[in-house]
C-alpha cells in the first residue's frame, strides 16, 4: 500500500511539474487574413511550411477577397493581413488598423477569354479590351467580392470611360466568389474574365479559355503585408506576426517566393523594400 501511495504521489508531482512545461511547449500559431490568390495559386502551400520549419510558428490562413480580409483585420480577428489593393491598404493604415505596410512581391493581371475571341479583345490595352467586350455584350464574369482583383477590374472599367452601372446587363455576371470559382464559371460559360496570373497558371479547368490581354502596365499587381495593430487589439500576436512579416521580406523569404514555380514558370516576383510605407 505504501508503495502504491508513493507511486501515486510521484505521478502527481510529475504532473504538477510537467503540466506547465507542456503548456509552455504549445506551438505558437498566427492567423493571416489574405487574398484568395495567394491560397488558390498554391503559394501558401509551398511557402508556409518553410516558415514554420524555421520558426516553429504555425500559420492559419483565412483566404478572402482583399476587402473582406482587411475587415477581418479591423475586427482584430487576424494577426497579419497579406493582400493586394494598395489604396485599400493605405486606408487601413490611416484608420490605425495596421502598424506598417511592407511590399512583398508582385505579379500581374491578365484578361482571359474564349480562344475564338468573339469580342475581338485580344492584344492591345486592357481598357480597349473592356470597351470591345462591352460593345459586343460578350459574357464577362466578375468576382464581385471586394477583392483586390475586383477593385482592379472596377478601375479598368472607369479608365475605359465606361459607366459599368449604366451598361451592365445579362452579359455581365457578378459571382461574388474567389478567383478559382470565378475562373470555373468563366470556363463553363466561355466568358471573359480578369484574373491574377498566379491563379490562372495554377488553374487546370481552363476549357476553351486563353490569355488574351497581358503586358499592359495598368495590369501590374502589387502585394503588401501589415501587422494588425496590437494597440487596438491586445489579442494580436504581435511578436509572432512580426516574425512572419520579417521572414517574408528577408532575403530567405524573398528567395523562397521567387522559387515557387508551376511548370517552370515563376508566379510571383519578390520586391520587398521597393515601395516602403
Euclidean distance between CA atoms 250 and 82, whole angstroms: 16
Summarize pLDDT for 180-207 with one digit per residue, the tens: 999 999 999 999 999 999 999 999 999 9
Average pLDDT estimate for 84-100 = 97
* CA-based nearest residue to 91, from 59, 114, 116, 66: 66
Residue 173's pLDDT is what? 97
Q: 63: alpha, beta or left, given left = phi > 0 and alpha = psi -120 to 50?
A: beta
Report the pLDDT value the prediction gives residue 273, as an integer from 0 to 100. Answer: 81
pLDDT score recorded for residue 93: 98
Are the C-beta atoms of residues 106 and 269 closer than 8 Å to each other? yes
Per residue in 45-75, pLDDT (tens digit) is: 999 999 999 999 999 999 999 999 999 999 9
Q: In this predicted model, what pLDDT tens digit does every residue of 158-169 receive, in sequence order?
A: 999 999 999 999
Mean pLDDT of 20-41: 79
Confidence band of 22 (pLDDT split at 50, 70, 90): very low
11-20, 32-41, 103-112, 143-152, range with the lowest pLDDT: 11-20
Residue 25: pLDDT over 70: no
Q: Which CATH number fits domain 24-107+222-270: 3.40.190.10, 3.40.50.620, 3.30.300.250, 3.40.720.10?
A: 3.40.190.10
- Kindly report, as residue ranges, where domains of CATH 3.40.190.10 are found in the chain: 24-107+222-270, 108-219
8-state DSSP, 263: T
Specify the pLDDT at position 119. Answer: 98
Q: pTM for this one?
A: 0.85
pLDDT at 8: 45
Q: Which residues pair with 262 in a beta bridge?
A: 265
Say yes or no to pLDDT of 14 above 70. no
**Arithmetic mean of pLDDT over the chain:** 91
Q: For 108-219, which CATH superfamily applies?
A: Periplasmic binding protein-like II (3.40.190.10)
Amino acid at each position: 500500500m505504501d508503495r502504491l501511495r508513493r507511486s501515486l504521489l510521484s505521478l502527481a508531482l510529475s504532473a504538477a511539474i510537467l503540466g506547465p512545461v507542456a503548456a509552455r511547449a504549445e506551438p505558437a500559431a498566427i492567423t493571416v487574413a489574405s487574398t484568395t490568390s495567394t491560397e488558390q495559386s498554391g503559394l501558401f502551400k509551398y511557402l508556409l511550411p518553410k516558415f514554420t520549419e524555421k520558426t516553429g510558428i504555425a500559420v492559419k490562413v483565412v483566404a478572402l477577397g482583399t476587402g473582406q480580409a482587411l475587415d477581418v483585420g479591423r475586427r482584430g480577428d487576424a494577426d497579419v493581413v497579406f493582400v493586394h489593393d494598395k489604396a485599400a491598404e493605405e486606408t487601413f493604415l490611416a484608420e490605425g488598423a495596421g502598424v506598417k505596410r511592407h511590399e512583398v512581391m508582385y505579379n500581374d493581371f491578365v484578361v482571359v477569354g474564349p480562344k475564338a475571341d468573339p469580342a475581338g479583345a485580344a492584344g492591345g490595352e486592357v481598357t480597349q479590351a473592356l470597351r470591345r467586350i462591352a460593345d459586343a455584350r460578350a459574357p464577362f464574369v466578375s468576382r464581385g467580392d471586394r477583392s483586390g482583383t475586383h477593385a482592379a477590374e472596377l478601375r479598368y472599367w472607369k479608365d475605359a470611360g465606361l459607366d459599368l452601372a449604366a451598361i451592365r446587363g445579362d452579359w455581365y455576371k457578378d459571382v461574388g466568389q474567389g478567383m478559382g470559382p470565378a475562373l470555373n464559371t468563366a470556363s463553363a460559360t466561355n466568358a471573359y474574365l480578369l484574373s491574377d496570373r498566379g491563379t490562372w497558371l495554377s488553374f487546370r479547368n481552363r476549357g476553351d479559355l486563353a490569355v488574351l490581354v497581358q503586358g499592359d502596365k495598368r495590369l501590374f499587381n502589387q502585394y503588401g503585408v501589415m501587422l494588425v495593430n496590437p494597440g487596438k487589439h491586445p489579442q494580436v500576436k504581435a511578436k509572432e506576426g512580426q516574425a512572419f512579416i520579417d521572414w517574408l521580406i528577408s532575403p530567405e523569404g524573398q528567395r523562397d517566393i521567387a522559387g515557387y514555380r508551376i511548370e517552370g514558370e515563376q508566379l510571383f516576383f519578390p520586391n520587398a523594400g521597393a515601395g516602403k510605407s
